[in-house]
């Protein structure tokens, strides 16, 4: 599968723990996005990278959230001191021009 | 910022009938409108998109129409089949948005009854 891949697919954690998700975009896609999707809702934008530069962050991205794309290829999203409200599907997408291709997401459950 | 509203939230149709999903957007600077289909447990997949310089686009059984004046766009699925059952999301991108950020509607769950 040469599409966007995300790891892990599922993560269960206890409140207060830190979690990190990884996204591998489609090769040569210079743009990478993180979205959050809660049950019954559409994806909500979190942050965007062009190459290694993080160019925009949503107000949804509190200071407990940090994202990196150190070499302009894969990206990581870390959530510190998780809260139950962080439970959601975290989707990654990549693009070269207009069309965004999504990964299957990481489903986070905070107990 | 951009706001996208999508209706209906659920849609049940008989196989072979047509399905129509409507979206409105708030930012007149939006110029790109993709539609994604998401099956249960799977990734959102682009099924069709339209740019603001075009009023209608068709691809086999699916079509999208755009009314820039009214700031609304619609997805039309004809001759629906059971495999069309999924959640459909509309989205909009504003030229003011950094890096092609998409704003999504809340989704429409479509059920095609055989």
- pLDDT the model gives residue A1: 52
Separation in Å, CA of A49 to nearest CA in chain B? 8
- pLDDT the model gives residue B21: 98
- pLDDT the model gives residue B96: 83
Q: Which regions in chain B score pLDDT beneath 70?
A: 99
**Closest to A43 (Cα-Cα) out of B102, B46, B75:** B102
Separation in Å, CA of B79 to nearest CA in chain A? 26
Q: Is A68 part of the contact surface with chain B (CB cutoff 8 Å)?
A: no
Residue A46 region, left (φ>0) first, then alpha (ψ -120 to 50), else beta?
Answer: alpha
d(CA B54, CA B49): 10
Q: Are B83 and B76 in contact (CB under 8 A)?
A: no
**Cis peptide preceding B52, ω within 30 of 0:** no
Separation in Å, CA of A26 to nearest CA in chain B? 14
| B102:A45 CB<8 A | yes
- pLDDT the model gives residue B100: 77
- pLDDT the model gives residue B97: 79
Q: How confident is the model at residue A98 (pLDDT cuts 50, 70, 90)?
A: confident
> If DSSP codes are grouped into helix, strand and coil, which group holds residue B98?
helix
Comparing CB atoms, the residue among B49, B99, B104 nearest residue A43 is B104
Over residues A9-59, the pLDDT tens digits come to 999 999 999 999 999 999 989 999 999 999 889 999 999 999 999 998 988
Mean pLDDT of chain A: 94
Higher confidence at residue B100 or residue A83? Answer: A83
Residue A19 region, left (φ>0) first, then alpha (ψ -120 to 50), else beta?
Answer: beta
- pLDDT the model gives residue B95: 86
Chain A contact set for B98 (CB, 8 A): 48, 55-56
């Amino acid at each position: 599968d040469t599409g966007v891949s995300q790891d892990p697919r599922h993560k269960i954690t206890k409140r207060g723990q830190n979690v990190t998700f990884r996204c591998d975009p489609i090769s040569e896609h210079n743009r990478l996005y993180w979205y959050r999707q809660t049950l019954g809702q559409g994806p909500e934008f979190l942050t965007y990278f062009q190459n290694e530069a993080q160019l925009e962050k949503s107000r949804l991205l509190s200071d407990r959230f940090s994202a990196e794309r150190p070499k302009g290829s894969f990206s990581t999203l870390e959530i510190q001191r998780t809260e139950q409200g962080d439970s959601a599907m975290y989707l990654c997408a990549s693009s070269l021009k207009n069309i965004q291709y999504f990964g299957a997401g990481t489903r986070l459950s905070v107990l | 910022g951009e706001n996208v509203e999508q209706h209906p939230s659920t849609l049940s149709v008989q196989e072979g009938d047509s399905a129509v999903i409507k979206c409105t957007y708030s930012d007149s600077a939006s110029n790109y409108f993709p539609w994604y289909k998401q099956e249960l447990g799977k990734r959102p997949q682009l099924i069709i998109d339209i740019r603001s310089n075009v009023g209608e686009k068709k691809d086999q059984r699916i079509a999208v129409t755009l009314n820039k004046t009214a700031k609304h766009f619609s997805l039309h699925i004809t001759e629906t089949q059971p495999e069309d059952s999924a959640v459909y999301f509309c989205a909009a991108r504003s030229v003011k948005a950094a890096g092609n950020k998409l704003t999504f509607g809340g989704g429409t769950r479509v059920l095609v009854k055989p």
